[in-house]
């Protein structure tokens, strides 16, 4: 293994794995820290953790455990992957985890670059944009778990760490990798170990990747990985081989637990001509809706790829959190979707599209998945995944694990279609 990656959630892990696979690295996604060694054919390993919303000390411990395993696989470089909207809180764990990884690697500093231009995430003068809106005006300011109310990534990161974060401005990025490296070294020499770096285009990210070719650690969204495979290719270290990916027919279902603005549009699009069942924390916690109820609904409509969703507008989410507590409401929904996913697979579902990072984590955990093979891309950042849970038949299942704001409005239609008509990587 050449590149070892640690992702703070499951959808982000598949997003990163997709980027690396498309760039020509033989990539495997692991769920949690594996107990055994990686396959010999694996050039990039992505360890998917569920640390985004947990206390910093717990996230640090899990991330260091992942780092130890990746180092044992012989990795030459490491990447800490978080969301392209920098999902965290002022007491969040992105900064503490990044610093702990730097200390463990005895490295002087690291880039911080959540940018992903293909989905509209760009960074200028240290400020993160989603499309033409500042992060704090993009809808992310209303995220139920990690409300992003400040677009200045230096300032947000500074609340999580002691000292200041640095910045490599876009004028340096435009001058290329040598200028980027010089600006980064100046920031690190001034004591700013975590250095935010502006990027607007994929070419910017490739230049940053080249500048980081000798760095032990890089941190960012999946876009930061665009330039990394070429560094290994230039050294003659990549095999150029890709694993075959087989499409799969069979019953399908869609589960959506995300409350992002794009998820609401995707749910609205899909439910126009598919059976749908809405789930609320009130119904779950009162017992008026159970997994058994939802499973009966799904069985009845299995031929029509039903949708079961808890996606709701911000006001509804706020009312549920006020009534039941944020954590209790979220845990009820996650537990519901995890158990339902397991029951659906036992009922014969072979294609499952899941919306939302927390929901995806619950589903992956309930299915006891350990490894995921990376298939073709559905939308930027979201590949088809292949897995073989014990609950499924010999052909396994095909999955899509979608971060809330990713994908076009017709994402769920495309996802299920792609699973049964998979094409090779371009």
pLDDT in tens, the chain (426 residues): 999 999 998 888 999 999 999 999 999 999 999 999 998 989 999 999 999 989 999 999 999 999 999 999 999 999 999 999 898 988 899 999 999 999 999 999 999 999 999 989 999 999 999 999 999 998 888 887 788 889 999 999 999 999 999 999 999 999 999 999 999 999 999 999 999 999 999 999 999 999 999 999 999 999 999 999 999 999 999 987 766 788 999 999 999 998 888 999 999 999 999 999 999 988 998 999 999 999 999 999 999 999 999 987 877 877 878 888 878 888 899 999 999 999 999 999 999 999 998 899 899 999 999 999 999 999 988 999 999 988 888 889 999 999 888 899 999 999 999 999 855 444
∠ CA 243-238-21, nearest 5°, is 45
Question: For the sheet containing 127-130, what is the strand order?
Answer: 121-124, 127-130, 133-134
In a domain, 241, yes or no: no
Residue range of the domain that includes 102: 3-234
* Paired tokens of 116: 């992903």
3-class secondary structure, 417: helix
First to last CA, the chain: 23
Q: What is the pTM of this model?
A: 0.86
Q: Dihedral through CA 247, CA 248, CA 249, CA 251, nearest 10? A: -130
The rounded distance, in Å, linking the Cα atoms of 138 and 87 is: 13
Q: How do 217-220 and 194-197 pair as beta strands?
A: unpaired
∠ CA 77-79-81, nearest 5°, is 170
On whether both 214 and 305 belong to a single domain, the answer is no
In a domain, 245, yes or no: no
On whether both 144 and 265 belong to a single domain, the answer is no
In a domain, 102, yes or no: yes
Residue ending a domain, choose from 203, 234, 265:
234
User: Are the C-beta atoms of 16 and 79 separated by less than 8 Å?
Assistant: yes
Q: Is the dihedral of CA 291, 281, 406, 275 positive or negative?
A: positive
* Paired tokens of 380: 């930027």
On whether both 380 and 298 belong to a single domain, the answer is yes
In a domain, 408, yes or no: yes
In a domain, 426, yes or no: no
Q: Residue 380: which CATH number?
A: 3.40.980.20
Query: How many domains does the chain contain in total?
Result: 2
On whether both 181 and 70 belong to a single domain, the answer is yes
The dihedrals phi and psi of 81, each to the nearest 5 degrees, come to: -105, 125
On whether both 159 and 278 belong to a single domain, the answer is no
In a domain, 425, yes or no: no
């Amino acid at each position: 293994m050449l590149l070892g990656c640690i992702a703070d959630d499951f959808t982000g892990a598949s997003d990163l794995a997709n980027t690396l696979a498309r760039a020509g690295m033989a990539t495997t996604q692991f769920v949690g820290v594996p107990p055994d060694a990686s396959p010999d054919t694996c050039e990039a390993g992505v360890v998917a953790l569920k640390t985004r919303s947990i206390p910093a000390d717990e996230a640090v411990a899990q991330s260091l455990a992942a780092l130890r395993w990746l180092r044992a696989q012989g990795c030459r470089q490491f990447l800490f992957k978080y969301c392209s909207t920098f999902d965290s809180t002022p007491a969040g764990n992105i900064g503490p985890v990044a610093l702990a990884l730097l200390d463990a690697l005895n490295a002087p500093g690291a880039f911080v670059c959540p940018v992903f231009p293909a989905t509209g995430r760009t960074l200028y003068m240290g400020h993160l944009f989603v499309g033409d809106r500042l992060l704090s005006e993009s809808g992310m300011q209303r995220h139920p778990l990690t409300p992003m109310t400040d677009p200045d990534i230096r300032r947000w990161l500074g609340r999580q760490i002691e000292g200041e974060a640095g910045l490599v401005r876009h004028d340096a990025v435009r001058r290329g990798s040598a200028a980027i490296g010089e600006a980064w070294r100046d920031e690190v020499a001034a004591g700013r170990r975590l250095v935010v770096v502006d990027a607007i285009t994929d070419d910017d990210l490739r230049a940053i990747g080249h500048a980081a070719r000798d760095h032990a650690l890089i941190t960012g969204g999946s876009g930061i990985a665009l330039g990394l495979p070429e560094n290994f290719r230039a050294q003659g270290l990549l095999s150029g081989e890709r694993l075959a990916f087989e499409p799969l027919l069979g019953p399908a279902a869609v589960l959506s637990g995300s409350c992002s603005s794009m998820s609401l549009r995707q749910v609205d699009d899909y439910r126009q001509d598919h059976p749908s069942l809405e789930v609320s924390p009130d119904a779950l916690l009162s017992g008026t809706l159970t997994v058994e109820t939802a499973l009966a609904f799904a069985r009845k409509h299995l031929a029509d790829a039903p949708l079961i969703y808890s996606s709701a507008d911000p006001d509804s989410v706020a009312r549920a959190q006020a009534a039941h507590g944020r954590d209790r409401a979220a845990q009820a929904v996650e537990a519901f979707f995890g158990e339902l996913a397991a029951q659906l697979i036992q009922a014969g579902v072979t294609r499952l599209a899941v919306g939302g990072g927390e929901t995806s984590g619950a589903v992956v955990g309930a299915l006891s998945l350990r490894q995921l093979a990376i298939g073709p891309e559905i939308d930027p950042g979201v590949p088809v995944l292949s897995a073989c849970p014990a609950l499924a038949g010999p052909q396994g299942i095909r999955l899509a694990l979608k971060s809330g704001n990713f994908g076009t409005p017709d994402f769920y239609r495309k996802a299920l279609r792609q699973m049964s008509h998979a094409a090779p990587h371009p």
